[in-house]
Amino acid sequence: MLLSRIIQCTIVGIMMGSIYALIAFGFNIISGVVKITNFSHGMFVLIGMYLTMAFSQAFGIDPYVALILTLPCAFLIGVICHKLFVQPILNAPKINQFILTLGLMIFLENMLLIIFGGDFRGLTTWYTSASILIGFISINYALLFAFFATILTMGGLLYILYHTRLGKAMRAIADDREAAALLGTNIRNIYTVSFGLAAVLAGIAGAATITYLIITPNDGRAVVIKAFIVTIFGGAGSIGGTILGGLILGLLENLGVLIINPSLASALSLSVMILVILFRPTGLLGKK
């Protein structure tokens, strides 16, 4: 039945879109606060996947329990990458920053290849292939759990941004770095914490999706492209735009399977992205 397939794809698209939004949140934190386009952001999602998989298999624990170990490691890796690679080029020309983050992406990709190999890897749990049936709609448990984890994480992030001193400092720096510095904000420390926080968000997204995806270290490039598309759809620096952009991408990818075919589904989202760039270059909810 066509209607049931449309509803099924819509629900899955919303769930996938929330995960894309979470990935793009970390991407936007770096671009908005640190003022650098981090092409290596997709690799932090993969790092979260591989770390969760390693901890889960080593200790025989559920992937979500393994987050207790994954998230501190992700934060530490993010901080180290910022200190060693990003901080020295913050005042460099934009082209230097682009090249540096591209180089960091390649470096992290090769580190994962060395440690874990290039074979396809995945993590199977009891809920990987199990589904819940609601009427005529079947929802995979792994995707459902990932959706709830994403919603909780975004709620926690919004609380941090709007109800903590750290979040207020981050927003102040994003609005006016010089004014924030004059008011006594430690810009360098906030940059470091922001990079670590972005790595944590990416790690959560990776941990939530490793239960139903098969990955290789080369998949980070596709992930960062999705973060770009979400940002273009919603508008850089817009929290509501990031959520909206993620939902749009998730819906386009899943409904594209019905409208076109599975092999060309990504072409639909890319076509819409081009239209947004042409007619709404600041994004649907972005500011000039």
Angstrom distance (rounded) from CA 64 to CA 72: 14
Angstrom distance (rounded) from CA 161 to CA 190: 12
Contacts of 130 (CB under 8 A, 6+ apart): 140, 141, 142
- pTM for the model: 0.92
- For residue 163, the enclosing domain spans 2-279
The rounded percent of the chain whose pLDDT value lies above 70 is: 98
**110 in a structural domain:** yes
**Tally of structural domains, the chain:** 1
pLDDT at 1: 67
Mean of pLDDT values over 30-53: 92
Angle at 105 between CA 276 and CA 192, to 5 degrees: 90
pLDDT band at 35 (very low <50, low <70, confident <90, very high): confident
Token pair in block for residue 228 = 């770009």
Q: How many CA atoms lie within 13 A of 90 on its CB side?
A: 18
Does residue 181 surpass a pLDDT of 80?
A: yes
Helix segments in the chain, DSSP class H: 2-29, 41-59, 63-81, 94-116, 141-163, 165-175, 177-182, 187-209, 220-234, 239-259, 265-279
Does residue 237 surpass a pLDDT of 80?
A: no
**38 in a structural domain:** yes
Does residue 63 surpass a pLDDT of 90?
A: yes
CATH code of residue 247 = 1.10.3470
**285 in a structural domain:** no
pLDDT at 134: 78
Token pair in block for residue 250 = 């998730």
The rounded percent of the chain whose pLDDT value lies above 90 is: 51
pLDDT band at 48 (very low <50, low <70, confident <90, very high): very high
pLDDT at 216: 92
Sign of the CA dihedral running 167, 286, 221, 89: negative
Q: Is 137 helix (H, G, I), strand (E, B) or coil?
A: strand
**51 in a structural domain:** yes
**286 in a structural domain:** no
**284 in a structural domain:** no
**245 in a structural domain:** yes
Angstrom distance (rounded) from CA 191 to CA 32: 11
Enumerate the β-bridge partners of residue 132. 139
Return the CA Rg of the chain. 19
